[in-house]
Chains A and B, each alone.
Chain A
């Protein structure tokens, strides 16, 4: 994938685990199909069942949407990186963006009892993955969401 012309590309993404696949794409809706395809292939390569990779795909897609809609929003444009790794019996995914740092304390799922459109993405991520953490982003990046799921 093309690198940003801003020179903000981190020299490396020194994350834990064995690298399986990584994709850098413009953070917009048109990129999400490619992201989902890559994540599915990578999770399958790690030995995930269909039920397992489907959940991972849902979580990564929603995490990327949060980057597009909230981290960058309507006023900013940039790339996002999806990095898939294997850590023992776990698939770990880092979603990295180059947007201004977000207030992670403000991100929480809404109560499902409220029947209204929207606000489901964060709930889906929590339901589909075993662990989710905002971790220190690599130099030059803005935010890094780390998610993990046991291969099953």
Chain B
């Protein structure tokens, strides 16, 4: 699993790839919470996610809830088919803001 953070000024793009599972999800959780605490917008690029389990989904939910508390925009972008299936199972496809391009989650001027 890879978790790369791109600094885009007021925003951060967190690119996840590979398997987000029990072993790797603590790293994802930590990265997302760090970004949410200092940025006004966080976009999670999930195009390269080949697998995500309940612990990975829990990391997304925790970051989403932290973002709501600080009025930070938290958006999932380019969600892979495998990851979307799991979000649908958790009925979270209706909770998260999901966009087709990373730029759609960054707002104007980025």
Contacts and interface: CB of A to CB of B under 8 A. Distances in A.
Contact of A115 (B21, B53, B95): B95
Contact of B89 (A33, A115, A127): A127
Chain A contact residues (Cβ within 8 angstroms of B): what range? 20 to 34
Interface of A is mostly: helix
Contacts of A65: 22, 53-55
Interface stretch (A15-23, A80-88, A118-126): A118-126
Q: Which of B55, B58, B59 has the most CB of A within 10 A?
A: B55
Interface string A39-68: 000000000000000110110011001001
20 contacts: A29-B22, A30-B23, A32-B22, A54-B82, A58-B85, A61-B21, A61-B53, A65-B22, A65-B53, A65-B55, A112-B90, A115-B65, A116-B61, A117-B58, A118-B54, A118-B58, A120-B90, A121-B53, A123-B89, A124-B54
Interface of B is mostly: helix
Interface in B40-65: 51, 53-55, 57-59, 61-62, 65
B23 A128 contact: no
